[in-house]
Amino acid sequence: MKLSQLAIGQQGIIKEFTDLEMSVKLMEMGCLPGEAVKVERIAPLGDPIAVTVSGYQLSLRKREASTIELI
């Protein structure tokens, strides 16, 4: 399951990243393996999405969210 596949309100736990370059940027922003992540809302035009992770809200494009594998 990828983060980009979650619907609004659903949550998951980050397992791993499929893109190395993206992974370092996401980890710096607090998206770490083992962290819970919840989709809060999707932008009116369907992209990007807003998620809650490690206590704050982060927005990222679906393409970027698709590099995050969930448990």
Partner 1 sequence: MKSTLRVALVGNPNTGKSTIFNALTGLNQKVGNFPGVTVDKKSGLCKLPDGKQVEIIDLPGTYSLYPKSADETIVFEVLSNPDNSSHPDLVVIVADATNLKRNLLLYTQIADLKLPVIIALNMMDQAEKGNIEIDINALASRLNVPVVALAARKSIGLDELKSAISYSTNIPLQHATIDVESIAPELIKAVSKKLKIDNPYVALQIVHQHENLKYISKENSFWIEEQEKIHDFHPQKAQATETIARYNFINEVLLDTVVYTSVALEENISNKIDHYLTHKVWGFVIFFLILFAIFQSIFAWSEYPMMLIETVFVWLAELGHTYLPAGVFTDLLIDGVLAGLSGVMVFIPQIALLFAFISVLEDTGYMARVTFMMDKLMRKVGLSGKSVVPLIGGLACAVPSIMSARTIENWKDRIITIMVTPLVSCSARLPIYTLLISLVVPSKLVLGFINLQGLVLMLMYLLSIVMAILVAWVMKIIIKSNLKSYFIMELPVYRMPRWNNVALTMFGSIKTFVTEAGKVIVAVSIVLWVLASYGPGDRIEKIDQKYSSSEMISQYTEEEINILKSSEKLENSYAGIVGKFIEPSIEPLGFDWKIGISLITSFAAREVFVGTMATLYSVDGDDSEMEPVRNKMAQARNAKTGTLVFTTATAFSLMVFYAFAMQCMSTMAVVYRETKQWRWPIIQFFYMLVLAYGASFIVYNLLK
Q: Interface residues for partner 1 in 15-34 (CB under 8 A)? A: 20-30, 32
Contacts for 28 with CB less than 8 Å, ≥ 6 apart: none
For position 2 contacting partner 1 by CB under 8 A, the verdict is no
**Residue from 10, 15, 22 nearest 60 by CA:** 22
**Looking at residue 32, what DSSP letter applies?**
-
For position 46 contacting partner 1 by CB under 8 A, the verdict is yes
For position 44 contacting partner 1 by CB under 8 A, the verdict is yes
- Pairing state between β 56-60 and 11-17: unpaired
Task: Quote the least distance from Cβ 41 to partner 1, whole Å.
Answer: 6
Phi, psi values for residue 10, rounded to 5°: -80, 150
Tell me whether residue 12 or residue 65 sits nearer to partner 1 (CB atom): 65
What are the residues binding partner 1 (CB under 8 A)? 20-30, 32, 40-41, 43-48, 50, 52, 54-61, 64
